[in-house]
Amino acid sequence: MSIFGWSYPAGCSNFPGEEGVINCEMCGGDVDNDECVCHECEECGEYGNPDCYENHGLVESTKQVEQRERLLREIDEQSRLEVEAIVKEREEVWHD
């Protein structure tokens, strides 16, 4: 369960144009590229698990929130452009 409520274009299960990239659920950072800025949970040793913030007493850092908001803005813009491109493509087909 994502706490962000990110909205993807239909049929798109990951970030547009970034197939296979795993982004941390808490900070939005690319886990494979060490962009996750989350702290380790002392209870279970996990990073970036939203459950730890609800159940294990972890508190979000400013860094996490800032990174997440910045990435969300980028993703919003990417999704918007992608949706616009799809809409435009369909319009061109209809006008054919």
Q: How far is CA 73 from CA 6, 27, 85, in A?
A: 11, 13, 18
Choose between 61 and 82: whose C-beta lies nearer to Zn ion. 61
Choose between 63 and 88: whose C-beta lies nearer to Zn ion. 63
Give the footprint of Zn ion on this chain (CB under 5 A).
24, 26-27, 36, 38, 41, 43-44, 48, 52, 56
**Beta carbon of residue 78, minimum distance to Zn ion (angstroms, whole number):** 20
Choose between 27 and 75: whose C-beta lies nearer to Zn ion. 27
- Contact 39/24 with Cβ under 8 angstroms? no
- Contact 15/75 with Cβ under 8 angstroms? yes
